[in-house]
Amino acid sequence: MSEERSEVLREVKMYQSNDWDIKEETPEYFLLTRSEATMTGHVLILLFTGWFTLGLANVIYYFAKKKTKKIVK
């Protein structure tokens, strides 16, 4: 295994230890995803805005807190 590849794998493992998940792995890159949305946040949004947004605020919160990161090999 080349030194560049092992360095990239160390970086990916570091992200995985911080709750990132591998969504896609190709010969060129790793695509990692992470959701920072919490159940408490969803419940609070539903309680305070659910009655007039019909749950749309929860969907917006989910996508606003979803993050992706690309690590190029």
Going from the first residue of the chain to its last (73 residues), give the mean pLDDT of each consecutive group of 10, the final group possibly shorter.
83 92 90 91 90 89 91 80
pTM given for the model: 0.71
pLDDT for 66: 92
pLDDT for 27: 86
pLDDT for 73: 77
The number of beta carbons lying within 10 Å of the beta carbon of residue 53 is 14
Asked if 34 and 21 touch (Cβ cutoff 8 Å), the reply is yes
pLDDT for 16: 92
> Where do the structural domains in the chain lie, given as residue ranges?
3-72
Q: At what angle do helices 56-65 and 39-53 cross, to 10 degrees?
A: 140
CA contacts within 13 A on the Cβ side of 60: 9
